[in-house]
Amino acid sequence: MKTSERSLKKDRERFSQIHAILTEKYPEALCALHYEGDPWRLLVMGRLSAQCTDARVNTVSEELFRAFPTAKDMAEGDLAGIEKIVMPCGLFRTKAKNIKDASRMLVDEYGGVIPNDIDELLKFPGVGRKIANLLVGDIYGGDAVVCDTHCIRVCGKLGFYPETEKDPTKIEKILRRVIPAGEGSDFCHRIVLFGREVCTARSPLCAECPLASLCAHKAKEEKREERARRAKEAPHG
Ligand code: SF4
């Protein structure tokens, strides 16, 4: 077996241990966006969530979907009215235009049905790989790896790629080789919960982390501390 095959095999084994622990901790792999089972709402909320918290998107969306309850309503809606509601999500002009245009496209070209295909979904204004994966995974239960900020940070720390790697397209490709078919969507939802609660961006709670024994970042930190301790204890000159 070549070294690259051996390391992929090891990563797959480590992944399955990690996912088992996360599944026990978060049995329900629920999407943080409250889209109430409506695929169009998930598309809209996914777009609004760029550089914005899911909590804020959930709050803003309540008013948005009260004013525009269907894709047709939004497609025909007044752009300034949409902008005003989505303003708290940031980048509001682009986001408002994207969700209006995407709603128009959904109604006119897809008969209101969200396609179950990543390449088709990428044709919608404002839809990138993150949203396309989210839709395919959550709506259709398909193979999906949602590379959002939590997934990128945590999976880097766990050692599936260098922590300095931040390119979501590259990361999706790497993770797709490691994650078994059909597990990606649930894993990514769990990683979001874990990234918010334990492996936070500011101060990860490594001392109480259930993944500590499987974490490359933690292993590196421990080695570094051990080296520093030895250097301190070594007799001087
Ligand atoms: S040990 Fe620390 S860095 Fe590693 S996954 Fe857990 S919280 Fe994150």
* 104 and 50 inside one domain: yes
CA distance linking residue 78 with residue 167, whole number of Å = 36
Give the domain extent around 67: 39-140
* 163 and 94 inside one domain: no
CA of 60 to the centre of ligand 1 (A): 32
At 115-174, the pLDDT tens digits run 999 999 999 999 999 999 999 999 999 999 999 999 999 999 999 999 999 999 999 999
Query: How many structural domains is the chain composed of?
Result: 2
CATH label of the domain that carries residue 105: 1.10.340.30
Question: For a pLDDT cut of 90, what percent of the chain falls above it?
Answer: 93
DSSP codes, 97-141: HHHHHHHHHHHHHHTTPPPS-HHHHTTSTT--HHHHHHHHHHHH-
Report yes or no on 231 lying in a domain. no
CA of 93 to the centre of ligand 1 (A): 37
The sign one gets for the Cα dihedral 210, 212, 217, 222 is positive
* 179 and 112 inside one domain: no
Identify the pLDDT of residue 20: 98
Cβ(218) – ligand 1 distance below 6 Å: yes
Cβ(211) – ligand 1 distance below 6 Å: yes
DSSP codes, 20-67: HHHHHH-SS---SS--TT-HHHHHHHHHHTTTS-HHHHHHHHHHHHHH
At 17-54, the pLDDT tens digits run 999 999 999 999 989 999 999 999 999 999 999 999 99
Report yes or no on 15 lying in a domain. yes
CA of 174 to the centre of ligand 1 (A): 20
Report yes or no on 232 lying in a domain. no
Q: Which residues contact 14 (CB under 8 A, 6 or more apart)?
A: 158, 159, 214
